Structure 1
Amino acid sequence: MSYLSIEFGLCFILFFLVYWSVCWSTRLQNVLLLAASYAILASFSLDFLYILLGYTALVYLLGLLSERFPGRSFVSGLMLLLVLGCFYLFKYQDFFTSTVQSAFAQLGLEVSLPLLEVLLPVGLSFYTFHSVSYLVSINRGELKPGSPFDLALYLAFFPSLIAGPVNRATDMLPQIRPTQARQVLEPQRALGLIALAVVKLFFLSSWLANEWVDPVFESSVSFSAEQILRSVYGYSFLIYFNFSGYTDLVTGIALLLGFRLPLNFNFPYTARNLKEFWGRWHISLSTFIRDYVYIPLGGNRRGVWRGNLNMLLAMLISGLWHGASVNFIIWGALHGVGLALYKLFSHWLPERPTWLGADLLARLLTFHYVAFAWIFFRCASLGDAIEMLGGLGGMSRAGLVSNGLSLLGCLLFVAIYPQIVALTRRLFDATVRLPWLLYPVPLGLFICVVIFASPSGVPGFIYASF
């Protein structure tokens, strides 16, 4: 069931009324939340629900083991075995099997490895990351094991089940068992976030996908270099609008249910370098990779060069997490190398340039590097990515004349993005100050107008496939 469908909207309104009708009992609210979360997962496939139930049981047992033997290497080994085993079985089995078979074939050996045909469960990557946070926190003595019910709700909590954000157990479990009765949090902001999500998902990302992005990425040979460049710019905006729109939506839903989800986006295209970009893009994932991959690898404790190697490995793992494909590995490597180069240059030249236009140039360079990496992220295969890059080399004066206005508009959008951000914040703050009784009516009318003006169909969530 799509969170943007009419069916989900009607079901959520009914659930919202029932949920707050038992506001005197947090336990009953939790039962309703878990039932709703499992029902949504089962609507995709009952098999996905069975997998989550089995995984929850194993995580609970490992949590008890972690509490009894804190800091023991065999407990960490079992945790790694569970997480990597699930990722391999459901997500990477085909990729690694075909890679090994191809390697043997190049040596003249025909090897047929067993391959199980299994579907990738919805939400696997996110509830796996949630379990890592839970188990590591127990192993470090930061958290006591939760009850089986609390753990089940933590892993299955439906606003963040499908595509994040990545929750931390130390932040989420206290919200599952609050010391006081829950209440709707910031209702006007919550509804404003949902309205903003509708604009980003139904209007902006859908229009970009239909008009600029999908036709070109499906067959770039049919388009000019200028149209390919426009589609690359378009995808850079599309993935931001789509994913940040999803985050706005589930953050608003969680606030209406009395929960706070972690900040996931902070206007990433205002970044002046890659380090700043990753401090603003998919923040819950980037901080997870930092805390649970980069720092355990050694971080920067062993010098600049070892720190850069650890950073590259962490970004390669991040790329591989997004999908079992050479393209995602290249995407991760590009960001890893870019971060390492930035770190070296900032070590040698610690002073930031202050001359006029330096910030604008830095933002444009960062945006174009990120956009270049998005080509590998979006293309279905390495051949498609190489084909698109080759197509970018044939720019002409006629092409620039016919597509120049849209290309200039993209660059202008990036150039004045900080001003757009400031204006958006002021408008959002102004709407939140409206009287509560007057708020729902114009908001509902605004949402209806946006949906009717948008391309037909319910938009999908790009990150739901990861």
Structure 2
Amino acid sequence: MALCHNRARFTPRVSRGEASYFCCHVMDYVVSFLSIEFGLCFTLFFIVYWSLCWSVRLQNVLLLAASYALVASFSFNSLYILLGYSALVYLLGLVGERYPGRRFSYLLVLLLVLGCFYLFKYQEFFVGGVQGALASAGLDVSLPVLEVLVPIGLSFYAFHSVSYLVSINRREMPLASPFDLALYLAFFPSLIAGPVNRASHMLAQIRTSGIREVLEPQRALGLIALAVVKLFFCSAWLASEWVDPVFETPGSYSPEQILLSVYGYSFLIYFNFSGYTNLVTGIALLLGFRLPENFNAPYAAHNLKEFWGRWHISLSLFIRDYVYIPLGGNRQGVWRGNLNMLLAMLVSGLWHGASINFIIWGALHGIGLALYKASTYILPQPMRWPGAGLAARLLTFHYVAFAWIFFRSASLDEAVDMLAGIGGLSLDGLFSSTGLLLLVSVLYVAVYPQLLVLLRQFFAATTRLPWQLYPIPLGLFVSLVIFASQSGVPGFIYASF
């Protein structure tokens, strides 16, 4: 697999804004699971993998070798870091098993994760902040910054390690063998951009005593086909036509076009990330593994709390269980609960990248969640007047879209330029051709739940067909979508994190 995957440079599809997420060193390449090379390689791997179906142990050995080969194909330094990190996690697991529930055990886990994040992702951001603060006080100090490459998958296998070590400390599961732990941390379908796997769920599948089998082959192939549509067609087209040109030079576009690009990015990041999730979920099913659900119609949410129950579900649950609840949750009153919620969302923002924009994005969601919680005290029951549900969904969507401006912009100045441009909206502009596209976008959000029902019914109907009939029509369909889409291999936005 090391020689077969495609290394696609960051293009406008993973634009300057996304590429700037790395603070220590910009990731110049992103492994693509959508390249022809990877497809051919995975087909060969799939054949060899299932020829070993009589031995789960040998299948696991092949999985680990493939996962390490994929990491090494990005850079050998990434592989060395992953190996060293896995060894440290195993040692900390031994400590947690010997001294379960001790405060120093949790402190060691925290030091490991925060130390790695600081060294590889946040060093330049924090050092720059300290130097800026000193400079404002009249002290010109140059602090050292190590030039390091951000190892691929760090943000996800670090979170996986937290799930494992906390579970060991809580005696929720037995200690894993070094091999099983290594595979859990390196499992290639979820290594690059998630989802965030819980240790108890994933390790149970790794060390199963039974014989593995392909899980739901019709659904797996259908998810892969759906991913191709979302990534090659929807995400790539939105990026090139609506989003990237406007975010690069907002001053060259009208207020209506800027607002349209914000709508476009809201759809783009959903299609891109959910498409990637569909892809790796399908791949995992073909290998006999189930990954956690990561999306459930997020733009059908009526409020921010519901949105975070539908968007990046595995990360939302992780932040809740390992950040919000340990901070005290809502056990210490309303104000402390809101503060804990804000801190948890700030952590979520900072996890996405070391920049003020991500911190603002996290703060906006934290404040929005606090305001929603306050509104439930004022209006304990949802409003029942006609159209209330639609109004709530549109309000939630626009708040989320507003926050996406900071998430997507390469700098705070660019985000301010986008907001200033939108501030120039006029009635005349809204009655233009661009205004018509804005109306279509809003209508799409309005009828989104109904479209989703139809899509799920269609998907359920297709999965009832014999899986042997799938490859030829799906192959023709996927080829048609790729032919009709933008040229090149689309990148995964969340691979940048």
Using the size of structure 1 for normalisation, the TM-score is 0.99
Aligned length: 466
How many Å separate the matches in 1 of 2:252 and 2:66?
46
Please give the secondary structure, in 1, of the residue aligned with 2:349: helix
Partner of 1:59: 89
How many Å separate the matches in 2 of 1:154 and 1:332?
29
Please give the secondary structure, in 2, of the residue aligned with 1:263: coil
Partner of 1:387: 417
1:281 and 2:311 correspond: yes
1:160 and 2:196 correspond: no
Partner of 1:427: 458
Partner of 2:47: 17
Unaligned residue ranges in structure 1 (runs of 5+): none
Partner of 1:136: 166
How many Å separate the matches in 1 of 2:40 and 2:166?
38
1:157-306 counterparts in 2 under 5 A?
Answer: 157-306=187-336
- Bigger relative contact order, structure 1 or 2, given CA contacts below 8 A and separation 6+? 2
Letter in 2 for 1:318: S
Letter in 1 for 2:241: E
CA-CA distance at 1:72 after TM superposition:
1.0
Q: Deviations over 1:316-335 (max 9, x none)?
A: 01000000000000000000
1:356-371 counterparts in 2 under 5 A?
Answer: 356-371=386-401
Letter in 2 for 1:436: W
Please give the secondary structure, in 2, of the residue aligned with 1:74: helix
CA-CA distance at 1:75 after TM superposition:
1.2
Partner of 1:107: 137
Partner of 1:72: 102
CA contact (8 A) 2:232 2:489 kept: yes
Letter in 2 for 1:440: P
1:112-127 counterparts in 2 under 5 A?
Answer: 112-127=142-157
Of residues 371, 375, 382 in structure 2, which corresponds to 1:341?
371
Letter in 1 for 2:349: G
More off after superposition, 403-412 vs 248-257: 403-412
Partner of 1:441: 472
Partner of 1:332: 362
CA-CA distance at 1:397 after TM superposition:
4.3
How many Å separate the matches in 1 of 2:428 and 2:34?
41
CA-CA distance at 1:396 after TM superposition:
3.5
How many Å separate the matches in 2 of 1:338 and 1:436?
45
Letter in 1 for 2:226: L
How many Å separate the matches in 2 of 1:62 and 1:436?
44
CA-CA distance at 1:437 after TM superposition:
2.6
Of residues 80, 86, 101 in structure 1, which corresponds to 2:116?
86
Partner of 1:4: 34
How many Å separate the matches in 2 of 1:393 and 1:90?
38
1:43 and 2:66 correspond: no
Partner of 1:452: 483
Identity %: 77
Q: Deviations over 1:208-254 (max 9, x none)?
A: 00000000001101111000000000000000000000000000000
Partner of 1:405: 436
How many Å separate the matches in 2 of 1:397 and 1:129?
48
How many Å separate the matches in 2 of 1:275 and 1:44?
37
CA-CA distance at 1:395 after TM superposition:
2.1
How many Å separate the matches in 1 of 2:226 and 2:218?
12
Q: Deviations over 1:137-190 (max 9, x none)?
A: 000000111111000000000000000000000100010011210000000000
How many Å separate the matches in 1 of 2:286 and 2:86?
26
How many Å separate the matches in 1 of 2:468 and 2:72?
37
